[in-house]
Amino acid sequence: MQLNIIVIDDSPMQLLISSKLIQQNKRLKLLGAFTNPFLGLKAIHTMEVDIVLLDVEMPEIDGFSLKKMFKKPVEVIMNSTRPIFELQAYSHGAIDFIKKPLSTEQLDSSISKVMHEVSFFRNQKKVRVALAS
């Protein structure tokens, strides 16, 4: 199973690093990388996005406030250079938090959590459909 992911981060360098790591991961398909959080938000609403790798601290809007604007369910992996945001990320419904700079190991671990979650909910849906028949 391959999951569609976008990256929202105000740092062009972080976007480049994230994009390269994502492109090396066979479980992921990079749909877009955005320094403008509102263009990223538009992508979430118009594309088939499964995962958002979302920066916490951005000048226009913080990642927590942007996440509240999502109109459809997507898994969110939040990231920041400051680990102080980790607990807050989880309390806002993020499936994981990665401290920057991102590494292959961190991304793989986060994607494994997402894959487990997606598998679990797909199986639950199948069970509900089978029981309803």
pLDDT reading at 57 higher than 60: yes
Which position has the higher pLDDT, 115 or 68?
Answer: 68
Indicate the DSSP class of residue 102.
Answer: P
Query: What is the per-residue pLDDT for 40?
Result: 98
Residues forming a β-bridge with 80 = 99
Please report which confidence band the pLDDT of residue 1 belongs to, taking 50, 70 and 90 as the band edges: confident
Report how far residue 133's alpha carbon sits from residue 131's, in angstroms, rounded to the nearest whole number.
5
Quick one: what percent of the chain has pLDDT higher than 70?
88
pTM: 0.88
How sure is the predictor about 122, in pLDDT bands with cuts at 50, 70 and 90? low
Q: Measured between alpha carbons, how far is 82 from 100 in angstroms, rounded to an integer?
A: 8
Instruction: Find the Cα–Cα–Cα–Cα dihedral 121, 126, 131, 133, rounded to 10°.
Output: 140
In terms of phi and psi (left: phi > 0; alpha: psi -120 to 50; beta: otherwise), the region of 47 is: beta
Note the pLDDT of residue 92: 96
Res 126: pLDDT: 52
Residues 6+ apart with CB under 8 A from 102: 14, 17, 18, 21, 79
pLDDT tens readout for residues 68-112: 999 999 999 999 999 999 999 999 999 999 999 999 999 999 999
Give the dihedral of Cα atoms 115, 117, 120, 123; nearest 10 deg: -60
Query: What's the rounded Cα separation, in Å, for the pair 99 and 76?
Result: 14
pLDDT value of residue 117? 78
> pLDDT-derived band of residue 49, with 50, 70 and 90 as boundaries?
very high
- Domains annotated for the chain, with CATH where assigned, are 3-132 (3.40.50.2300)
Give me the mean pLDDT over the 2-15 stretch: 96
CB burial of residue 17 (10 Å; 0-12, 13-18, 19+): middle
